[in-house]
Amino acid sequence: AQSVTQLDSQVPVFEEAPVELRCNYSSSVSVYLFWYVQYPNQGLQLLLKYLSGSTLVKGINGFEAEFNKSQTSFHLRKPSVHISDTAEYFCAVSDSSSSNTGKLIFGQGTTLQVKP
């Protein structure tokens, strides 16, 4: 069975500093990986996704993530954060047991707190 582990529940960082949010997954088959962001009182918004090809994936709002198959990781990075990046971030893996499903398996989330 697939699972996702987000290694940090909270990440405090100062404005304009770099940040990395860590995500590890377990799967015996090939996977598709996603990062979503949830702002307070809102739904989830896709930041980026890895389907195949280049292991470095660029997303919206200056975020990028690197797929590392050997380490089964998909860490999210941003070189310089803004106050507006304060939100909860979710790593997710698709259920690849069947291609005919949109089911996502989510990690527990990481709260990014950007301080002035």
> Based on CB atoms, which residue is closest to another protein, 52 or 70?
52
Residue 53 corresponds to which tokens in the numbers above?
């090809």
Least separation in angstroms between residue 97's CB and another protein is 10
* Closest among 99, 113, 89 to 6, alpha carbons compared: 89
CA distance 116 to 5: 29
Burial of 53 (0-12, 13-18, 19+ CB in 10 A): exposed
Residue 97 corresponds to which tokens in the numbers above?
């047991």
Least separation in angstroms between residue 37's CB and another protein is 11
> Based on CB atoms, which residue is closest to another protein, 15 or 95?
95
User: Which residues of the chain form contacts with another protein (CB under 8 A)?
Assistant: 32, 36, 41-46, 49, 51, 90, 92, 94-96, 98-109
Least separation in angstroms between residue 20's CB and another protein is 21
> Based on CB atoms, which residue is closest to another protein, 9 or 80?
9
